[in-house]
Every structure is written in structure tokens, then in C-alpha cells.
Structure 1
């Protein structure tokens, strides 16, 4: 069984766990307690030199970075009904290109701003540092503008890369869920009906519901 080394509440750990669930692939979660700096200890750094979670051990193959893990799992373990999660150039070059575009959109136009917003609103509390409300306001304005562009894309297709769900859509789930838990309705506002429809669709998937709170 593949071992997933991670901190159950972490966004990246849940992103990887989500793909295990999507594929119906069993895994053993090896908990890494980030509250005690276990991810910075020498044994952990020997496997993940950046001191981040998660990483996997698949019969000796050690791999880190949640999106790389997701791609690997689909490439190796996906059954025919899961192949749409990650289009390939050999299968359909245009679908592959749209998929790569969508993956880039998530990284460049969503993840980076959500990471900063989560730091300001949530994680600063644990370090005893005050939230900078000016930064929060700026980040929310930026995210609103980015999601306006999402609305344009999703008016044309059901999902970001076409009419079938892909990893690019699923990668949004951990931070998208946190956005709602922080009290911001950017993904569900009636002013962006296509984004709202898309978010309701992907966030209701059984695989996400299984790891929504913890991997």
C-alpha cells in the first residue's frame, strides 16, 4: 500500500489524498505533526529536503509536491474511467493543451493568492502576529478579478479544461473550501453564476467529501 506522509489538515496533503480517493486507491496516511516541527526533523528532511508536506512512498519510489503526486497516481493507477482526469498529448493534443493551460491557471491565478490570504487570515493567528487588513483587502480584490476571468472560461465549458473534470479543477478544492470557511463567498456569489455552478459541482464530489476536513 502506498504511504502518504502528511499533516491531515494541510491543504497540500488533502489535495494528494483527494486523488487517491478519486481513483479508489487505498493508502496509508503516516501523520507528520507539523505543530511539533516534525516536518523539519532530520529523518523527514532526508525524504523531503524542503521540509514540506506531503510526500509518498510507493514501494520505494519517494515523490513529493502534491500536484506531482496527483499526476503520478493518475498516470500509473487510473482505470479507463479516470483517464479524463489528465489528458495526454498522445490521446488528444488539443485537450492536453487545454488541460495544461488550466493547471497553469490554478497555480498562477488562484493558489498563489489563496496561500497569501490563508496566511493573513488564519496562520498568522498561530504565530501571534496581527492580520494586516490592508493586505487582505488587496488579496480579495485580486481574487475577485481573477474569478471574473474564471467566469469567462466557465461560460464556454463545464470545467476549466473542457466538458470533463480534470485534475486542474480538483486542485482548487482545498483552498476553495478554506475561502468559504473564512467567510468569503467569492466562489458562490450570484454575480458569477458559472463559477458558482462549477464550484458546487466539484465540491460535491464524494472523493472531496471524504477528505474535506482531514486527509
Structure 2
């Protein structure tokens, strides 16, 4: 498998993280976002949206980080990571939606301001970040992972931007359960870290 990625993209990291957690051999293909490689014809042929990551599984092209998580779990029949039971599957899907929604518009957006100079209002995206992180903290009151006692693709989807939220000036100190959850993910066999950027509270 080939994973088209950029090391500072949290979306790309979640796909890379899952490949590593699953122990899947893969080639990383660097997409130079600063030089606009994601907007060139060759890359747009893979993903017309012009975004990383993209997975090339021997000619089967899968774009979108959450779609890649689902594809890998289904292809490898890893129902431990993506449950088949209706209620459990729905719980995981709920958190995939959070990753694409509140996480993207909260901690991910706050980090885009400091790392890439995105034109968001810091006070607005930081407040959004704390709103969703408080809900994650509450979710972890009676469980080790988001959907229960074992990790699922839900945890993979939320990890990257949550772990690097301080780079966007989002303080994780008020969330002890969340910080313990991050540590549990980081202790999983095959874990690979998301590159750090010395900005915001991480400067």
C-alpha cells in the first residue's frame, strides 16, 4: 500500500497511525503542500478534492482519512477496530462524525492558525476546541476508550489533533481523563507519533 501524506497533517497522521497499529506494510509518499503538489493534475487524479491523505491499495484509491480507517478495518476484517454490532458500530460512527466536525472546527482549526497562519479567529476556534474536549473528557468517565474498553477507529480519528491541541493554544491540563486516554493510545503496539511543531503552548 502507498499512503500519500504530509507529516504536519493530522488527517494524514491518523491514516498512518492506523496502518502502523494494524502492522500493515506501506510506503509513505510525501506530498509537498507548500509547493502546491496537492493541486497538481497528477495528485488531483487521485483525489479531486486536492487533500491528503490518499491510500493506494494496489490500484484501489481511497481518499479521506476517516474513509481510509473504515476501508482498512473492513478489508482486513478487523471488527475489533470497527464493530459489526449495530449499537457499537453506531457509537464508533458518532465519533467519526465528531472527528470530521467538532474536532476539525475546534482543535484542528486552532492549530491551523499557529502552524499554517490560517485566517480563523483564535478566540473562536479555541472556545470550540474546549467545548468538544470537555465532552470527550465526560465520555471517558467510565471507560478507557471512546467506544468502550478497547480502542477502535474512533480513538484513531480523534487522537492526532487532540494530542497536538496545545500547538493551537488549547490547554489540555483541565482534562486529566483525556490526557490519560492519549497516553493509552501512545502505549499501543505499533504507535507512531505525530510530528510536533514548536508553536502555541508547545513553543
TM-score bracket for the superposition, by shorter chain length: 0.7 to 0.9
- The one of 74, 80, 84 aligned to 1:84: 80
Q: Is the counterpart of residue 11 in structure 1 residue 7 in structure 2?
A: no
Whether contact under 8 Å (1:14, 1:212) holds in the other structure is yes
Report the TM-score when normalising by structure 2: 0.85
Structure 2 stretches lacking a partner, 5+ long: 197-203
Whether contact under 8 Å (2:92, 2:154) holds in the other structure is yes
Q: How many residues are matched? A: 196
Match of 1:150 in 2: 136
Whether contact under 8 Å (1:101, 1:161) holds in the other structure is no
SS at match of 1:14: helix
Per the TM alignment, residue 123 of structure 1 is displaced from its structure 2 partner at its CA by 0.7
Larger radius of gyration: 1
| Rounded Cα–Cα distance in structure 2 between residues aligned with 1:184 and 1:54 | 25
Can you list the C-alpha shifts for 1:134-187, whole angstroms capped at 9, x where unaligned? x2122222222222222221112221111111111111222123213445432x
| Rounded Cα–Cα distance in structure 1 between residues aligned with 2:127 and 2:161 | 17
- The one of 94, 98, 109 aligned to 2:91: 98
Structure 1 stretches lacking a partner, 5+ long: none
Whether contact under 8 Å (1:98, 1:162) holds in the other structure is no
Question: Relative to 1, partners in 2 of residues 1:16 and 1:61: Cα closer, same or farther, differing over 3 Å?
Answer: same
Q: Which runs of 4+ in 1 moved over 4 A?
A: none
Question: Relative to 1, partners in 2 of residues 1:203 and 1:137: Cα closer, same or farther, differing over 3 Å?
Answer: farther
Match of 2:179 in 1: 196
Question: Relative to 1, partners in 2 of residues 1:10 and 1:193: Cα closer, same or farther, differing over 3 Å?
Answer: closer
SS at match of 2:83: coil
Whether contact under 8 Å (1:48, 1:55) holds in the other structure is yes
Determine which structure has the larger helix proportion and give its number: 1
Whether contact under 8 Å (2:4, 2:28) holds in the other structure is yes
The two structures, once aligned, show a CA RMSD in angstroms of: 2.2
Q: Is the counterpart of residue 162 in structure 1 residue 148 in structure 2?
A: yes
Question: Relative to 1, partners in 2 of residues 1:70 and 1:199: Cα closer, same or farther, differing over 3 Å?
Answer: same
Report the TM-score when normalising by structure 1: 0.81
